[in-house]
Amino acid sequence: MIEEEVTIQGFLVARTVEREWEIENIAIAGAARRRGLGSRLLGEFLDLARKRGAESVFLEVRESNRAARALYAKWAFVESGRRNGYYHEPDEDAVVYRLTYA
C-alpha cells in the first residue's frame, strides 16, 4: 500500500503587462501560517519576476491586514497609493504597494 498526503499550503496568483507585474492574490492555509511560507512564496515569485525582466511589482491589500502589510514591507514594497472603498463586507480602503527593481 502506498499512501500520500498532498495538500496545498499556499498559492500566489499574478499577472503581467509588459514589465509591470501585479500580485492578484496570495494566500496561506490557516494551519500553515506563521511558518514563513508566505515570505518564501513571495520571495520565489519576486525572483521569478526579476529574472523575467520585471521593472516593478504592484499589489493592493486591505488597510486592516497588518500581517500582510508587514510582509510586504519586509520585502521592500512601499505604499504608492490608496483605493478608497475598494473592499466590501466590510467596506475598507485598499493600500496599493509597489516594489521597483533597480
Residues annotated catalytic, as ranges: 60, 72
Nearest to 95 by CA among 46, 59, 71: 59
d(CA 38, CA 42): 6
For 20, 69, 73, the CA distances from 78, given in Å and listed in that order, are 15, 10, 7
Helix runs in the chain, H state only: 37-51, 66-74
